[in-house]
Amino acid sequence: MTVVEEISGEPADARGRVEELRALRERARRGPSDRATEAQHAKGKLTARERIALLLDEGSFREVEQLRRHRATGFGLEEKKPYTDGVITGWGTVEGRTVFVYAHDFRIFGGALGEAHATKIHKIMDMAISAGAPLVSLNDGAGARIQEGVSALAGYGGIFQRNTRASGVIPQISVMLGPCAGGAAYSPALTDFVFMVRETSQMFITGPDVVKAVTGESITQNGLGGADVHAETSGVCHFAYDDEETCITEVRYLLSLLPQNNRENPPAADTDDPADRHSDTLLDLVPVDGNRPYDMRKVIEELVDDGDFLEVHERWATNIICALGRMGGQVVGIVANQPQSLAGVLDIEASEKAARFVQMCDAFNIPIITLLDVPGFLPGVDQEHGGIIRHGAKLLYAYCNATVPRISVILRKAYGGAYIVMDSQSIGADLTYAWPTNEIAVMGAEGAANVIFRRQIADAEDPEVMRSRMVKEYKAELMHPYYAAERGLVDDVIDPAETREVLVSALAMLRTKHADLPSRKHGNPPQ
């Protein structure tokens, strides 16, 4: 049915044509039916337009190709040609800054992607790249539109290609608000951040029915690819929330910490938190005894403006913390060992988590603060066979390749290769500070003494007394707090209470840092 056939009467003048246009737009905005909207709400899900209204500043959304319809025939498609073709695209603002968005409308074809649907997404992605503004996808789709065959599949290819072209150029955020199965799941995996909502969003390559048919394993959709699974086990999801409203509010917060593109700095913010604020609390937070755990999050709270920061991948690889916050009003990325989890060691997952975070910060001009309290890499057959060498090298490569301002602070333990990998001065940190509680060494004193003084300990009348004496001797000679400073391996040993002041001052000095990498097409990072 044509547009003319859908509208009764022939407009007599321009005003009549405008009324006709308004009627069409209202039909597109309303969606397929009230019943479809009620069904969406009954699942605890918002409609695509309700989601966009939450994301963008009020009244700022400008829609693109609202009246687009598919041209496919067969399988009854020619009788069902709704406006928007199941995806709403356009741009608006978040806190006054331009953001592009596309949102699947599950009420139309289950949000499935067809040729026209894909073309709309391609267009808005191209616009975002050209304008140099973030792209947010609100995903709630049932995969490729089967009735359109390979034309629909080709549409995904165009999305993946643009995801890759936009990578490191504009921030890309995927918000999962419904099912995402098969090849469709690769687009979120290519973006910078993935948000999910518990119970209503799932991501998997093959669904529970296929898994059961092939492997005999029975599992629910949430058990296979729900928000908690991807937030805790797979690491696919960076943020998981209980409801859509909270999720989308947090997307707005994340956008406030990111630049528009790779040619801009993140937005600064006014703060009443003094740059020279001392924090004597830090003297009590971190125990001198290297074997006693503490919560590194509390240290970060003391350092950032108003104690406010956004942790990325909070529930995956918990032995390392990656977070965005502000110091002196300027956005910083923070990478920190977490002694409360696995004593803060580096393992395969922690290395991967931190490496990608460092790469993201470097791509978007976010200075990196590294807080070290690391006893080494996690030993074990599983780690070695799983490729800890290869995965640990990812973090090393990411730091070495980063040209943004990099400042590291050694709070306590910094042993072996893990110390080098965690942005030590030797791999290019601009400034390295240490607390008086630092222990920088090849390994812990006990292990070192057992190696160096093996014969003396074995030949002693009381090996335990001799071991204890040798441990103290090793600490006194090679692990005292000023050993590294005396050799220029750290720039200064500072009072923990003055850490915030030191960091804010250093960040201000490094704000104009410029560093060029050698000319090359691209590097070949370890995989």
Size of the chain in residues: 527
What are the DSSP calls for 291-303, one per residue?
TS---HHHHHHHH
- Secondary element (H or E) of residue 99: strand 97-104
Q: Which of 387, 417, 428, 447 is catalytic?
A: 417
C-alpha span between 233 and 236 (Å, rounded): 8
Nearest of 298, 273, 274 to residue 285 by alpha carbon: 298
3-state secondary structure of 40: helix
Amino acid at 208: P
C-alpha span between 210 and 264 (Å, rounded): 45
Amino acid at 315: R
What are the DSSP calls for 223-240, one per residue?
HHHBHHHIIIII---SEE
29 CB contacts (<8 Å, ≥6 apart)? 49, 66
User: How many CB atoms lie under 10 A from the CB of residue 141?
Assistant: 26
Nearest of 119, 62, 59 to residue 87 by alpha carbon: 119
User: How many CB atoms lie under 10 A from the CB of residue 209?
Assistant: 10
Annotation marks residue 183 as catalytic: yes
C-alpha span between 41 and 24 (Å, rounded): 24
Q: Which of 110, 182, 235, 290 is catalytic?
A: 182
- Secondary element (H or E) of residue 331: strand 330-337
DSSP type of residue 65? S
3-state secondary structure of 195: strand
255 CB contacts (<8 Å, ≥6 apart)? 94, 95, 97, 99, 134, 136, 171, 173
Q: Which of 28, 231, 343, 418 is catalytic?
A: 418
Is residue 399 a contact partner of residue 430, using CB atoms and an 8 Å limit? Answer: no
Q: Which of 183, 207, 290, 386 is catalytic?
A: 183
Cα of 119 vs its chain's centroid, Å: 27
3-state secondary structure of 444: coil
Annotation marks residue 418 as catalytic: yes
Active site residue ranges: 182-183, 417-418
